[in-house]
Amino acid sequence: MEAKGVLLLTLVVGLVIGFAGGYYYMQEKVDEAYQAGYVAGQSVAPTYETPASLSIAFSSGTFDHSSTVASDGSVSTETDKTDTLTIENTDESKTASDVRILLYNPVTGKEGLHDNLETDATEVTITIGGVTYSLYHDGEYVTDGVPIGDLPAGSSVTATVTFTLEKAVAGTFQDGQTYTCYLYVYQPNANYADVVSFTVTT
């Protein structure tokens, strides 16, 4: 009987030790998994810089197509209207990095043109340093925008924005209207977009 008692006691003690060891092993694995998940979550979360202060302005801020669009909303001759856009970094020390110009706000998803101007006969381009890029083409926004690169503190860049109405059939546009539209200057490293408004008359 004593031998059986000792054997039973040994078995119970072994089970307790085994359970405790298994528990601590599993707890260690759970803690490791939690830490791994936490680190992964931390690495995925985006971090952004503080944006540089920019001053953005059009020379006139108006693209006058009132004589381009006929009373029935048609356009008989492709017509360009241009304006000068100036972007200045007014920050004391911070460089605006990888600056881009768009007619589409990548932060909010807002589109810059009025719905009545979003047609296949509307073209919006920007010319910088002698090179012309599309901002709106064939009824679609260029969502990647136009890169103008880094803009150091105190520097500025000047561009020409061209708003074109191509030949169009009656009903494409509405005569006698004035639309407020928006251009965006985006700093990707800060995930921040400055907004400048302009008007289009038809």
CATH code of the domain containing 123? 2.60.40.3880
* pLDDT for position 2: 52
Residue 16 belongs to domain spanning? 1-45
Q: Is 145 found in the same domain as 99?
A: yes
Question: With 60 as the cut, is the pLDDT of residue 165 above it?
Answer: yes
Q: Are 84 and 173 within one domain?
A: yes
* All residues at 6 or more sequence positions from 156 whose CB lies less than 8 Å from its CB, including other chains: 86, 87, 88, 89
On whether both 39 and 84 belong to a single domain, the answer is: no
The mean pLDDT of the chain is 86
User: Is there a contact between 114 and 181 (Cβ–Cβ < 8 Å)?
Assistant: yes
Residues 101, 174 within the same domain: yes
Whether 101 and 192 map to the same domain: the answer is: yes
Write out pLDDT tens, residues 44-76: 557 888 999 999 999 999 999 999 999 999 999
The domain total for the chain is 2
Q: What is the pLDDT of residue 38?
A: 42
The model's pTM: 0.77
Asked if 80 and 163 touch (Cβ cutoff 8 Å), the reply is yes
Residues 138 and 58 in one domain: yes
Same domain, 81 and 132: yes
Q: Are residues 123 and 173 in the same domain?
A: yes
Q: What pLDDT, on the 0 to 100 scale, is given for residue 33?
A: 45
Same domain assignment for residues 161 and 178: yes
Q: Which residue has the higher pLDDT, 26 or 145?
A: 145
With a cut of 80, say whether residue 100 has pLDDT above it: yes
In angstroms, the CA 189 to CA 191 distance is 6
User: Are residues 21 and 85 located together in one domain of the fold?
Assistant: no
Confidence label for 35 from pLDDT (cuts 50, 70 and 90): low
- Same structural domain, 13 and 87: no
Extract the tokens encoding 184. Answer: 């965006």
* 77 and 38 within one domain: no
Listed in sequence order, the residues at least 6 apart from 139 whose beta carbon sits closer than 8 Å to its beta carbon are 118, 119, 120, 122
pLDDT digits (tens, 9 = 90+) for 113-155: 999 999 999 999 999 999 999 999 999 999 889 999 999 999 9
For tokens 């119970």, name the residue: 12
